[in-house]
Each structure stands twice: as C-alpha cells, then as structure tokens.
Amino acid sequence: MAQLKDALGDAYRIEHELRRGGMSRLYLATERANDRRVVVKLLPPDLADDVTVTRFRREIEMVSMLVHPNILPIIASGTRGAIMYYIMPYVPGETLRHRLERENPLQVDDAVRILHELGGALDLAHAHGVVHRDIKPENVLLPDGHAVLTDFGVALALAHRRPSGRLTGAGTGVGTPGYMSPEQALGEREVDASSDVYGLAIVGYEMLAGKAPFTGPTLQAVLAAHVRDIPPPLSTIRPEVPKTVSDAIAKALAKDPAKRYPTAGAFREALGGVSARGGTGVAGPRRRQAIAAATAVAAVALAIAAWIFLRGRAAP
C-alpha cells in the first residue's frame, strides 16, 4: 500500500483494500479535491509480467473509450515505477449477484429492464471492437436498481480492430464456467460479440427462472452442459414470462454462434420494448387477464351510466 500511496501522491487518500480481483487488487480511496470516493485498481508489482502488464494496459485502453451510462468508466490512470493503476468511481449498493441472493427470481419487468440496459452497454462495446467475455451477475452493479457493467479485465479486442495479436491462445478458456459460451468452453480462438450475447442470455435466464440454465457437480460437467444441453423454455418454467422474451433468450442460447443474434442490440430489440415505468411493454398471461377484466368492468359501468341517463331523460 505504501507504494500505491507514493504513486497517487496527495491527490487521493487510501482508506482500505476492498477485495482482490483476479490478478489485480482493489482499494477504496477518497479524492481530496472534491471529497469523492473512488476505487483504485492496482496491478501488484509481484504479479506484473509481460502478459499481465500488456493485458492491464489493454484493459485501460479499451474501457477508456467506452462512454456509456451503463458502463463503469475510468476516471484516471497512471504508472509510477513498477506500479500500474487506474481509478474508477465508487458505486455504492449491491451487485446483481447480491440481488439474486436476496430476491430470486426477479420480477419480469425488472429482469427485462436490466437485460435492456446491459444490452445497450454491450452494443456500444462491440461497436468499438471489444468483447467482454465475462458477463455474470458479479460483474453487474445495481446503483438505484439500474445496471452498470464492470470488470473488462478479460475483455478481448476483436481481431479486425486490434491486429497486434491476442493474449490467449487456442485451447484456453477465459471467463466464468457457468456463463461461458460453448466456444469459450471449448477454448476456441475466435470469440466474437455473439459470445457476450450468450452470456447475457444466461444472466437473463437466471434472473427469470431463479436458477442458472447449466449446472453440474464438477467444472467439466458444467462446461459439457454448455456444449450439449438445451434448457427448457422460460415460458414453461414461469408462465408469466412473455413468449417474446422466452423465445429471444432461447435463440441467444443457441449452441451455434451463427444462430444467435449477431449483436447485443439485436437481442435487445427481440426482447421487446420497455415502458417508461420499467415494464416490458409486452402483456404476459396475468397482465392480459387483468386488462380483459378491467375492460369488462369499464364496459358494464358505461352501460349502467347510459341506462341511468336515458331513464332520467324519459321520466318527464
């Protein structure tokens, strides 16, 4: 921590370490100039080799160009001797994983809204040639209930945008097993935006079904399920999930990347619209029944009012 304090100087006051994030370490700090709390992500010198340093620099480069309300931004970055770091806003509140531990499954409207917000963030990342490769509830922050995507630490620049080479080779799976696409599970070298679409669909399935679509007693069993198994449609597990949402998630979970939505934006559109109040804009079975009942009541009330009015006019 002393080395980090020297690197940051008097601009920031370090409070304490939050947690270790893979090969990096996270610290809570306060920016003295405006009393703003921030998070400092540090690459420890003892873990800094050619690969990790290159990956850390690439993460800074990629996230710095992703300006979106649903992506956690980088405020500043720097290098001092063997210390490499970057600084992000501190976002209080829970992650999507914490929310699922507290409330599972989520309300349909909330789950679809979160998918819309994450889909928008990924659509921007993909437009800049960045594949996240680790979409999971732990990497989704929920300040005020809205989704913010974070941790691009294993993100991959697409080959046509970053011809300088990749940091992982064929046969190396990168990501979290429960949320890996089949091509990630098989360690394929070519991973594109459709892989993130698959990961986002798994998150959506878990939010709506109350459980992940692919599980198993061992890591190998989970990876095999991604490659082999087809989960039951959401509409059969939870009837109030609109068929459009169930069908969109099923297509996004296709084993063949070519059969999924080509972009996160296309997946987002297939889910259906989200109303100003956060609804899906698509009436599920219960909502349709409520609308029909309300319509019937209104019709009866209108008929009674008309009868009373006509009777009053006929009385004289």
- Is residue 298 domain-shared with residue 263, that is, in the same domain? no
* Total of domains in the chain: 3
- Is residue 59 domain-shared with residue 200, that is, in the same domain? no
Bridge partner list, 83: 80
Q: Is the pLDDT of residue 156 over 90?
A: no
- Which one is predicted more confidently, 116 or 6? 116
Task: Please report, for the domain that includes residue 259, its CATH number.
Answer: 1.10.510.10
Whether residue 261 lies inside any domain: the answer is yes
- Is residue 79 domain-shared with residue 159, that is, in the same domain? no
Tokens of 43: 């690459």
Whether residue 233 lies inside any domain: the answer is yes
- Is residue 109 domain-shared with residue 26, that is, in the same domain? no
Q: Known catalytic residues?
A: 134
Kindly compute the dihedral angle of the four CA atoms of residues 177, 181, 183, 189, in this order, to the nearest 10 degrees. -80
Whether residue 85 lies inside any domain: the answer is yes
Whether residue 185 lies inside any domain: the answer is yes
Average pLDDT score over residue span 81-95: 90
- Is residue 9 domain-shared with residue 59, that is, in the same domain? yes
- Which one is predicted more confidently, 279 or 79? 79
pLDDT tens digits, 246-261: 999 999 999 999 999 9
- Is residue 221 domain-shared with residue 315, that is, in the same domain? no
User: Picking from 154-158, 200-204, 211-215, which range would have the lowest pLDDT averaged per residue?
Assistant: 154-158
- Is residue 76 domain-shared with residue 155, that is, in the same domain? no
Whether residue 166 lies inside any domain: the answer is yes
Structural domain boundaries, residue 301: 287-316
- Is residue 157 domain-shared with residue 208, that is, in the same domain? yes
Whether residue 279 lies inside any domain: the answer is no
Whether residue 231 lies inside any domain: the answer is yes
pLDDT value at residue 305: 46
Q: How far apart are the first and last CA of the chain?
A: 93
Cα distance between residue 75 and residue 58, in whole Å: 16
- Is residue 47 domain-shared with residue 182, that is, in the same domain? no
Domain boundary among 71, 89, 107: 89
- Is residue 187 domain-shared with residue 79, that is, in the same domain? no
- pTM higher than 0.75, yes or no? yes
- Is residue 31 domain-shared with residue 128, that is, in the same domain? no
- Is residue 301 domain-shared with residue 233, that is, in the same domain? no
Instruction: Name the DSSP letter for residue 202.
Output: H
Asked if 253 and 213 touch (Cβ cutoff 8 Å), the reply is yes
Q: What percent of the chain has pLDDT over 70?
A: 78
Whether residue 277 lies inside any domain: the answer is no
Q: Is the pLDDT of residue 289 over 60?
A: no
